[in-house]
Amino acid sequence: REPRSAPLITAPALPGWDHAVSGKVRELYVPAGEDLAGAREVLVVATDRISAYDFSLAPGIPDKGRVLTGISLFWFEQLADIVPNHVISADDVPEQVRGRALRCRALDMIPLECVVRGYLTGSGRADYERDGAVGGHTLPAGLVEASRLPRPLFTPSTKAEQGEHDENITVDQARERLGGDLVDRLDELTRAVYVRAQQIAAERGILLADTKLEFGFSRADGTLTLGDEVLTPDSSRFWSADAYREGVAQPSLDKQFVRDWLTSDASGWDRTSGQEPPELPPDVVAQTRDRYIEAFERLTGREFDPEG
């Protein structure tokens, strides 16, 4: 299962599609001659770019984009009875990006990162330490790193402009910005997705600590629709159920390897220096790729096919 080709880092020219925008990981295309504001369809292409500690790393992880696309497709299907999603086709896409591209309904994206947390970690824990609350939900005292929360919490954040950080806001602040009815629907849907996904992941020995969803309104008929990627290692924290221990930082299934190398003496990089991290050596790239593939295989129960 060696990679079939070099990592895809930049947006390739694709017949029938015009490149519209670059995200951190994905490239968005519209049908040739159309523009993003008016298009009814988009092509979402996941590249092999990877970031850690807010830096984009070189040289990228071969097949990472395929893994992310495969995992998203799996979840979109598992969740289809809870929420409609943007996928039109994974097959009817340009040959060159097959496996990493999805033809999707164009959505008017809602400017909110719909975060749901089942465990306390990351910025949620920082908020808890400061306020005793996360996303405006008051929590009992005495919770520690990786504590399971009494119930899954909707803890939205703003969708930051390129290069800026997302900012956690309370549910009430989200309601003020977007309207109470919409935020109530997003809250309910996001938690329903979490509950279902957490069950499925648990059957595979994986704890879903938290995840982030993005919704939009379908241009065709206004339906509230799940977009972007879902429940991938990039948008979620997956922990190994076997190794779970309250009170300590849990190793993540995918990026931990890269993070550990970057902060080890071997990399020669000082995280506090503000300088770009060094190029990843081939064995770090290969082992990180293995971790992403393992996440795909454990979650979907299918073997990863680099040709597929």
> Does residue 187 belong to the site contacting ligand ATP (CB under 6 A)?
no
> Does residue 255 belong to the site contacting ligand ATP (CB under 6 A)?
no
> Does residue 28 belong to the site contacting ligand ATP (CB under 6 A)?
yes
Selection from Mg ion, ligand ATP, none that 125 binds (CB < 5 to 8 A by kind) is none
> Which of 53, 9, 21 is CA-nearest to residue 228?
21
Q: Which long-range contacts (CB under 8 A, 24 or more apart) does 51-57 make?
A: 51/24, 51/25, 52/255, 52/258, 52/259, 52/262, 52/277, 53/259, 53/262, 53/271, 53/277, 55/276, 55/277, 56/24, 57/258, 57/277, 57/280
Q: Rounded to whole angstroms, how far apart are CA atoms 262 and 265?
A: 8
Q: Rounded to whole angstroms, how far apart are CA atoms 100 and 45?
A: 6
Tell me the CA end-to-end span of the chain in Å, nearest whole number.
11
Interface region with Mg ion, contact rule CB under 5 A, candidates 84-92, 116-124, 133-141, 223-231: 223-231
Among residues 48, 127, 210, 228, which is the contact residue for ligand ATP, using CB under 6 A?
Answer: 228
Selection from Mg ion, ligand ATP, none that 106 binds (CB < 5 to 8 A by kind) is ligand ATP
Among residues 26, 125, 175, 289, which is the contact residue for ligand ATP, using CB under 6 A?
Answer: 26
What mask, x for binding ligand ATP by CB under 6 A, covers residues 77 to 96? ---------x----------
Binding residues (CB under 6 A) for ligand ATP: these are: 23-26, 28, 42, 44, 86, 104-107, 109, 214, 216, 227-228
Residues lying near Mg ion in the complex (CB under 5 A) are found at 228
